[in-house]
A and B are shown apart, each in its own frame.
Chain A
Amino acid sequence: MGNFFPRWTNWLVLKLAIALFFILVGVSLGVSYYFTPKYTRVGYEPTQPVPFSHKIHAGQLGLDCRYCHSFVESSSHSNVPTNQTCFNCHGTGKGNIRSNSPKLEKVIQAEATGTPIPWVKVHKVPDYAYFNHSVHVNRGVSCVSCHGKINEMEVVRQAEPQSMGWCLDCHRNPENNLRPLDQITNLNYDASQLDRATFYKGLLDKGVKAEEIAAEIPGGGLLEKAPDLQQILALAEKTYGGAVAQQEVGLQLKKHWQVSPPESCAACHR
């Protein structure tokens, strides 16, 4: 019997296996990054029919989000404003601000014909997922948590993947995103800007018991007698340091507002 297979074939199987391993690892890494909403959706920035700048309106001018998206606190949808809203400022005989700017051409046209402006949808939740804006913004979740810093965007861009896993991350750990209700539309908010004394006093004023507040501060533990505000502040400073931390605010609000985000399918799928 002669040698049918030359010597180099002895290692072929092993080489192939190693090569295959690297290919597989590469493919799975590639798929897990490029095929997920993190890559496919984040950064989506379609051109809009009207060159409306959120940066100017929400950023420079400091308009509140709810001036235009007026039903965000009462409806599942955050409405796109009607022409009437635009014309409150830009309309002739109303605000008269740049009322003949060529950029407003399509708005004026829509007003005359009654045909709405076809705004391009940026954030798209699938049909089978029922997201509700009102329940989030009424319960301490800010616009910025899902939409990013709109006040810095000339044209709106998708900032977060808005995939199911991403939703669940927050539903499982809501404390990372909760903030006081007066800060919901403050897109530049950071927990460190809060005044600790005011925050805790606000909770106490709402009727939350001091010992319950203390129990939510790690290291606070169960106290024998109800602490006063100063003791709470001292305890918080010991745990979180000088500046107010997001965890600190989030845990308190989660507990005392009874924030229990649903994790069952029926919450979003019906």
Chain B
Amino acid sequence: MKRIWQHPQEPKTGRRYWRSVGELERRSEFMNKLGVEFPAGDTMNEEERDNSRRDFLKIMGASLGAMGLVSCRRPLTTILPYTKHVEWVIPGKPLLYATAIPKPNGGAQPLVVTTHEGRPTHLAGNPLHPTAGGGLDSFAQASILDLYDPERSQRPLRHGKNGVGWSSVNRAIRAATESVSAKGGEGLAVVVGASSSPTFTRLLGELKKAYPQAMVVEYDAISRDALKAANAELFGADVLPVVNLSKALRVFSLDCDFLGVNPVGADSVKEFMVNRDADKGVDSMNRLYALENRFTVTGGFADHRKPLAASLIPVAAALLAAELGGTQVSALAATASEDLKTWVKVAADDLKKFQGKAVVLTGSGYGAEVHALVATANQALGAFGTVIDLVKPDTVTPAGMLPDLVAAVRGGKVSTVVALTPSDLFYDAPGASALKDLFKDKKVSLIHWGHSPNATARHSDYHIPAAHPLEAWGDLRTADGTYSIVQPMIQALYGGASAIEVLLALLGKKKLGLEEVKPADPAAPPAPAPVDAAYAAVRETFEKIAGGLDEQKWNLTLRDGFLKGSTFAKGGSLNAGAVNGIASKATVLSAPTAEALEVVLVPDSTLWDGRFASNAWLQEAPDPITKLTWDNAAWLSSKTFQGLGLKEGQMVKITVGEKSISLAAIEAPGHVSNSITIALGYGQTKLGFVGSNSDGKGRGFDAYKLRSDANQYVLTGAKVEKLDEIYELAITQEQNTMEGRAIYREATAEEFKKTPDFAQKTGMDGHIPQNISLYKGQVDRKTPENPEGFDYENLHQWGMTIDLNKCIGCTSCIVACQSENNISVVGKDQVRKGRIMQWIRMDRYFAVPKWGKDEAESDDVMIKPTAEQLENAEMVSQPVACQQCESAPCETVCPVNATVHTEEGLNAMAYNRCIGTRYCANNCPYTARRFNFFDYNKRPLDELYMGPLSTPSKTGMRESLQLQKNPNVTVRMRGVIEKCTYCVQRLESAKINQRQKQRDSKNFRVPTDSVKVACQQACPAGAIEFGDLGDEKSAVNKVKASPRNYQVLKYVGTRPRTSYLARIRNVNPDMPNAAAIAAWSGKQF
């Protein structure tokens, strides 16, 4: 008799987690997809099918004939040893290097790079680094793909066309400098981006000295000019505030996404998590208040969050400053609504109790008055000198701003512009196309340096391809000043130059491009290696910073990846007089209305300002909030969205003043009404398939067109108009759903104190009936009573924990997994079909505390939530990968034993055995398995359905991408299921390394916590622990002992090795609506 398992019913009352409004309201689009992991239906249209069937037969016929011929002989393979041995390289062993990579907004990400026989394959954070040690963000994680990107800029361009060599670039640079040298550099302008490289700054200073009349302009698309100007006035020139959140117990964020795209210190995520450990006692846990117009990862992680229009952030800042006893700006504060006043007051009262341990933060895009008000608030809280350090960096160059350059060009004062900024002037600058025409009109000779053949590169006189940070010498400083050397670990693949090298070329100290190698004369003695000018320049800087060129110190710095004790000097204080001056300039603001909406422009969580548009991993990494891949869209609140009668992806026209753009709209719970958020960086053209689709028209929509000033992030008085067209968006939020199961658990700090083990009793977990089956299979610890169990004495037993109280949902783990495990990118169309391959899926749920109209007793699950409830929704994130069930449902259904259990508790995959029945995926209650519908590695993603008839030049894995692959992991082919295996290649190599040491002893266990899996290594928050359960000292064992530890879907009896730690929200009971926050879902039933 077939028994149908009934999942425990959802509670009718209380809290519910849902991924989209469609799910909450049971809209038909969602219900049709529910439970269909691999949507059926035609994969190709009529015409494609007809053609391909005929072609298929033709090719089969031909290949059958050919098969007979080739199968007789064993193919001859050769082994090519090095002719001369390479220092340190042991074939087959990875070699690690410490280096650093610039963060998109300045600062540095220290790295440890894994190289295999000279090819870098994987990046990880540098765990030894004093301030930014540990994990890394997804930008840095994915930057390894930029190195091998087949669409990156590979050769110099002249007017956007190939055909010039490096020698003509060198000539052009010489000509440019020679023409201006007579007039002291007048007519030369250098545009730089924010850089934390001391050598770059030093060389720029030298350039200024050599050409005193030359103009230096700093331009970044995500401009911080307003912040810099405010800082200069508040703290003095050359003084920067650096926030160390590890010293704060109360944090108030005024739309500052410090856990996401707006870090405020050397490593804000890591520092914030220092005081976030609920197991150390909830009283010492920090508390986060957030005001923001849209959900950010920071807002989702906040203990208290209130949606507030971005135009009203200055009002909130004024309120807060007034409450904390700082400046009074009554004109602003008076306009606040009553509930905002109460909200801010109660929060401020809480902050006041933590003198010297509380801090107020604000987004870097806001105007000077907000920064001034926040500075007084921080002054009142005693944050300066405790939480906030004022430092004097040496990497600041006095530079003009973009409008200065535009004015100079217009006035005909500039004849040559050298663009060294990573931003794309002719795409992201305000009035980009007008600027392009202006340069053309005034016959400005533009020499552009950049990583991709972007708009500026195509319209420049000379384009110089940039070297990847892994290809050239350089140096960087983290926000607190710790100095790192950037060392090359591969020769520049296409001979690109770094920004430092271009500066050296301008100074006449270096010729760009690959040196021509003459065939060596065997008789001649080996020529001494030419000294790289960039190397010499970095050493010169090092000498200054380290106080002498000590060879040993240099080598140690290279080895460790940082120079000890090289932080910036502290100094400076808040100039209270300046505050009132700035604050008094604040203008009175009004809340956006349905007629005059606000548009908030934000850096994208995956493409930043657009510079990562060619990075396929980042394009496919779902946005942490919307789960949107490959595109951007206008985020609208439910009220605005439903008020306009929109459907998901429906186009809207947004007009701000005279500028307007049309783009797709999506409904974003937690978004404030009458406000629209648009991520920048999309809509770039002609970047190749990944960056701008095969038609070259671009992915997503360009929101830079709305700006008239690079410092404009909040645009007011916008109008929105509904259009008929529906744009196809690839959103993963409703895919692989585990809908309706209580898999996320959280409670307030108070609830946790009362019932520490609430997570273990939620749902029916408290009273699961015992398994009385005679056949128990291989589960649990091996004992005389349970002889089939796992051997904890003589083997490793692997396990993992994920702390939801630390996970912010940033997607760094997803990209790390992709890099480590050779996971393919599938493209937008396939993502739409639910075929995304990422092994880790970052589930993002929204929750409303009381979601029905009549929350008491109603059987109707289709109750429509109110717009206000949707606006105040809470957000949680939960990464889910294979849970490595001890009693795995997938294994029993595999007809070919391709997925089996190892004696160490892993649910292993033998890819070469898999025949692709997908039974396992159907049987997985966690929907953690992925299927290769196509040869994603071999076939061009825009011609998947062409099969073997795809364009030959695009078919097969690109050579450069082959270099990135991890040689210790199989590259899976079509028709194979794949999934997380706890980085089994790392476990095996750790065990083997231990056995090399063990030799003839019994000491088999790998040293405690010495093996780290890729996601754990990447997690900036340290939310993931992994290790040997058989080792009593291991961190994972300690964490599993926490009362917050629970297994997802425990009642199914799968006995997963991965467990989660429930989230604790540190709720302030005095806050309005505090009772509703994280209303414990832990109802037992």
Q: How far is the CA of A112 from the CA of B902 in the complex (A)?
A: 50
A163 within 8 A of B: no
What B residues does A46 contact at CB under 8 A? 76
Q: How far is the CA of A73 from the CA of B996 in the complex (A)?
A: 8
Choice from A117, A260, A264 contacting B81 with Cβ under 8 Å: A117
Choice from B913, B970, B1002 contacting A270 with Cβ under 8 Å: B970
Q: How far is the CA of A258 from the CA of B81 in the complex (A)?
A: 35
Choice from A76, A121, A257, A266 contacting B1001 with Cβ under 8 Å: A257
The answer to whether B83 touches A115 (Cβ under 8 A) is: yes
Choice from B82, B912, B970 contacting A116 with Cβ under 8 Å: B82
Residue ID in chain A nearest B912 by CB atoms: A128
The answer to whether B78 touches A119 (Cβ under 8 A) is: yes
What B residues does A115 contact at CB under 8 A? 83
What B residues does A71 contact at CB under 8 A? 90-93
CB contact list, A83-104 vs B, under 8 A: 83-84
B999 within 8 A of A: yes
Give min CB distance, B980 to chain A, whole Å.
12
B968 within 8 A of A: yes
Q: How far is the CA of A120 from the CA of B81 in the complex (A)?
A: 11
Q: How far is the CA of A119 from the CA of B79 in the complex (A)?
A: 5
The answer to whether B903 touches A264 (Cβ under 8 A) is: yes
Choice from A112, A120, A266 contacting B984 with Cβ under 8 Å: A266
Give min CB distance, A184 to chain B, whole Å.
11
Q: How far is the CA of A79 from the CA of B82 in the complex (A)?
A: 10
What A residues does B87 contact at CB under 8 A? none
The answer to whether A258 touches B988 (Cβ under 8 A) is: no
The count of residues in chain A whose C-beta lies closer than 8 Å to any C-beta of chain B is 53
Residue ID in chain B nearest A114 by CB atoms: B83
CB contact list, B508-528 vs A, under 8 A: 519-520, 522
The answer to whether B984 touches A270 (Cβ under 8 A) is: yes
CB contact list, B944-971 vs A, under 8 A: 968-970
Give min CB distance, A267 to chain B, whole Å.
7
Q: How far is the CA of A238 from the CA of B79 in the complex (A)?
A: 50
The answer to whether A135 touches B992 (Cβ under 8 A) is: yes
Also in contact, A116 and B83, with CB within 8 A (given A181-B1000, A266-B908): yes
The answer to whether B794 touches A260 (Cβ under 8 A) is: yes
The answer to whether B999 touches A270 (Cβ under 8 A) is: no
Choice from A80, A127, A130, A264 contacting B902 with Cβ under 8 Å: A264
Q: How far is the CA of A204 from the CA of B984 in the complex (A)?
A: 36
Choice from B90, B519, B981, B1004 contacting A74 with Cβ under 8 Å: B90
The answer to whether A139 touches B999 (Cβ under 8 A) is: yes
A28 within 8 A of B: no
Choice from A40, A84, A130, A263 contacting B985 with Cβ under 8 Å: A130
Among B906, B985, B988, B1000, max chain A CB count under 10 A is at B1000
The answer to whether B74 touches A44 (Cβ under 8 A) is: yes
What B residues does A206 contact at CB under 8 A? 1000-1001
Give min CB distance, A178 to chain B, whole Å.
10
Q: How far is the CA of A115 from the CA of B522 in the complex (A)?
A: 13
User: What's the A-B contact tally at a CB cutoff of 8 Å?
Assistant: 151
Q: How far is the CA of A126 from the CA of B795 in the complex (A)?
A: 28
A239 within 8 A of B: no
Give min CB distance, A159 to chain B, whole Å.
16
B64 within 8 A of A: no
What B residues does A118 contact at CB under 8 A? 78-80
The answer to whether B970 touches A76 (Cβ under 8 A) is: no
Q: How far is the CA of A119 from the CA of B988 in the complex (A)?
A: 29
Choice from A121, A264, A270 contacting B79 with Cβ under 8 Å: A121
The answer to whether B795 touches A266 (Cβ under 8 A) is: no
What B residues does A135 contact at CB under 8 A? 991-992, 995-996
Q: How far is the CA of A263 from the CA of B901 in the complex (A)?
A: 11
Q: How far is the CA of A264 from the CA of B999 in the complex (A)?
A: 22
What A residues does B995 contact at CB under 8 A? 135, 138-139
CB contact list, A247-268 vs B, under 8 A: 253, 256-258, 260, 262-267
Give min CB distance, A42 to chain B, whole Å.
12
B84 within 8 A of A: yes
B1073 within 8 A of A: no
Choice from A76, A116, A265 contacting B93 with Cβ under 8 Å: A76
The answer to whether A270 touches B968 (Cβ under 8 A) is: yes
Choice from A80, A124, A265 contacting B908 with Cβ under 8 Å: A265
Residue ID in chain B nearest A85 by CB atoms: B85
The answer to whether A84 touches B84 (Cβ under 8 A) is: yes
Q: How far is the CA of A181 from the CA of B1000 in the complex (A)?
A: 8
What B residues does A134 contact at CB under 8 A? 992, 996
B77 within 8 A of A: yes
Give min CB distance, B269 to chain A, whole Å.
30
What B residues does A128 contact at CB under 8 A? 911-912, 970
A75 within 8 A of B: yes
What A residues does B999 contact at CB under 8 A? 138-139, 181, 257
The answer to whether B78 touches A121 (Cβ under 8 A) is: yes
The answer to whether A116 touches B81 (Cβ under 8 A) is: yes
Give min CB distance, B410 to chain A, whole Å.
55
Give min CB distance, A244 to chain B, whole Å.
17
Q: How far is the CA of A80 from the CA of B187 in the complex (A)?
A: 59
A225 within 8 A of B: no
Q: How far is the CA of A138 from the CA of B904 in the complex (A)?
A: 22
Q: How far is the CA of A145 from the CA of B138 in the complex (A)?
A: 47
The answer to whether B902 touches A83 (Cβ under 8 A) is: no
What A residues does B83 contact at CB under 8 A? 82-84, 110-111, 114-116
Residue ID in chain B nearest A110 by CB atoms: B83
B 103-133 to A, binary, CB cutoff 8 A, 1 in contact else 0? 0000000000000000000000000000000
Q: How far is the CA of A266 from the CA of B1004 in the complex (A)?
A: 18
Q: How far is the CA of A140 from the CA of B999 in the complex (A)?
A: 8
Among A80, A130, A257, A266, max chain B CB count under 10 A is at A266
Also in contact, A124 and B77, with CB within 8 A (given A75-B91, A83-B83): yes
What B residues does A253 contact at CB under 8 A? 1000
Q: How far is the CA of A255 from the CA of B900 in the complex (A)?
A: 27
What A residues does B970 contact at CB under 8 A? 127-128, 269-270
A15 within 8 A of B: no
What A residues does B981 contact at CB under 8 A? 266, 270
Choice from B74, B519, B902 contacting A265 with Cβ under 8 Å: B902
B589 within 8 A of A: no
Residue ID in chain A nearest B907 by CB atoms: A266
Give min CB distance, B894 to chain A, whole Å.
11
B59 within 8 A of A: no
The answer to whether B794 touches A258 (Cβ under 8 A) is: yes
What B residues does A269 contact at CB under 8 A? 908-913, 970
Q: How far is the CA of A113 from the CA of B74 in the complex (A)?
A: 30
Q: How far is the CA of A264 from the CA of B913 in the complex (A)?
A: 13
Residue ID in chain A nearest B1000 by CB atoms: A257
Give min CB distance, A181 to chain B, whole Å.
6
Q: How far is the CA of A138 from the CA of B910 in the complex (A)?
A: 26
Give min CB distance, B473 to chain A, whole Å.
25
The answer to whether A120 touches B910 (Cβ under 8 A) is: no
A242 within 8 A of B: no
Choice from A76, A127, A181, A260 contacting B92 with Cβ under 8 Å: A76
Among B80, B83, B904, B1004, max chain A CB count under 10 A is at B83
Among A81, A258, A270, max chain B CB count under 10 A is at A270
Residues of A participating in the B interface, judged by any CB pair closer than 8 Å: 40, 44, 46, 71, 73-77, 79-84, 110-121, 124, 126-128, 130, 132, 134-135, 138-140, 181, 206, 253, 256-258, 260, 262-267, 269-270
Sampled A-B contacts (29; CB under 8 Å): A74-B996, A75-B93, A82-B82, A82-B85, A83-B84, A114-B84, A118-B78, A118-B79, A119-B79, A120-B77, A120-B78, A128-B970, A130-B988, A132-B992, A135-B992, A138-B995, A257-B1000, A257-B1001, A257-B1002, A258-B1004, A263-B903, A265-B900, A265-B913, A266-B909, A269-B913, A270-B969, A270-B970, A270-B984, A270-B985
Q: Which 4 A-B residue pairs are closest in the complex by CB-CB distance?
A: A77-B92, A264-B902, A266-B908, A75-B92
User: 17 new A-B pairs (CB below 8 Å) besides A113-B519, A264-B903?
Assistant: A84-B84, A114-B520, A126-B912, A127-B970, A128-B970, A130-B988, A132-B988, A135-B992, A138-B998, A181-B999, A253-B1000, A257-B998, A264-B906, A265-B908, A265-B910, A266-B910, A269-B912
